[in-house]
Amino acid sequence: MDKSTPLVSLVMRTLGDRPREIRRALNSVAANTWQQVEVIIVYQGAEGRKWDELQRIAKDLSPLPVSLLRNPKSGDRRAENLNIGWDFGRGRFIGFLDDDDTLEPGHIQLLVEAMAATGRTWAYSQTLLRKEDEEFRVVSETRPFLRKQFSLADMWNENFIPIHSLLIDRDGLVPQLKHRPFLDDLVRAEDWDFLLRISYYHEPAVIENYTCVYYVSTGTRNTNISLMNEGVNVEAEQRNREAWARCSVIVEQRKSNLVKQNWWAREYFKPAPPLRLPPGSTVAVGPQAAASERSTFSRLRRRAARVLIRMLERML
């Protein structure tokens, strides 16, 4: 192993209840052509069967370096778990991998090379969406996240970058993002909030190759960490909507704080209207629902401004 090659840290957060998927995810890391890589698994839960199984999985993956960390706290700590892994990772480069997703063998190599060639601080590739049944048989495969060019304006309104498709050069980050860059308070949209901030300060390199897979199960397996220990029922769905509503308000406020830093951004990025839900509302709430409606005149003005904003983005 070439010790002069920069180390890449990959952070995986898990509840430990999907050992088959975890093994598959880790095997995809081990198969990568970039050999200087470590995995930091942040397990949220108590000691016991799941914790013991994770330790066995880590040993089975040797010689892939896998560090196991345990967060004993209760509740949805998704953002905190990412921060724990971020701070523990030793790599100059850092990325993320959910416990049920996978990377293609050339994923890390392509992202590192893209950053080296462009001088960018982060890069991302394209992601396949693959639906599968309980036996891991592929049901369908689509490409809903495709973006051949990055647009901060589009990111401002919705997240279109799966978190495991990106890699970051921490040496080039602005000070605001060097330490614990995820907001612990967010139990939804924590990845979107982070992507808004990193893309506001740093333009990414975009790779057109499909180098990672986002899996969705059509069976009973749960791929949403926010629904841990809960069945699919009306009460749980209502809590999910309420959590989205609370987190949408937080994200919009943080977007507003970013905009205040530059006069041109205040004109270009119009704040979304306050999000109000009537008591007992069953209307689904997400990042897109928080975006403001635009008039025809406003859309034309924003379209004309895109040329200017892309020039300004490169000057940040």
Give me the domains of the chain, ranges plus CATH numbers. 8-225 (3.90.550.10), 236-315 (no CATH)
What integer pLDDT is reported at residue 229 of this predicted model?
44
What integer pLDDT is reported at residue 201 of this predicted model?
95
For every one of its 316 residues, what pLDDT tens digit does the chain have, with 9 covering 90 and above? 455 799 999 999 999 999 999 999 999 999 999 999 999 999 999 999 999 999 999 999 989 999 999 999 999 999 999 999 999 999 999 999 999 999 999 999 999 999 999 999 999 999 999 999 998 999 999 999 988 899 999 999 999 999 999 999 999 999 999 999 999 999 999 999 999 999 999 999 999 999 999 999 987 665 444 434 444 578 888 888 899 999 999 999 999 999 888 877 877 776 655 545 445 544 343 433 333 333 333 443 444 444 444 444 444 4
Provide the Cα torsion 106, 145, 272, 251; round to 10°. Answer: -40
Q: Is 88 helix (H, G, I), strand (E, B) or coil?
A: helix
How much is the mean pLDDT over the chain? 84
Residue 244 has φ and ψ, to the nearest 5°, of -60, -40
Amino acid at 249: V
State the pTM of this model: 0.81
What integer pLDDT is reported at residue 232 of this predicted model?
55
What integer pLDDT is reported at residue 288 of this predicted model?
39
Q: What share of the chain is helix, strand, coil (3-state, %, to 5)?
A: 40, 20, 40
DSSP for 273-288, written as a single string: PPP---TT------TG
Q: How many other C-beta atoms lie within 10 A of the C-beta of residue 282?
A: 10
- Whether the CB-CB separation of 165 and 124 falls below 8 Å is answered with yes
User: What is d(CA 205, CA 123) in angstroms, rounded to the nearest whole number?
Assistant: 4
What integer pLDDT is reported at residue 260 of this predicted model?
87
What integer pLDDT is reported at residue 163 of this predicted model?
96
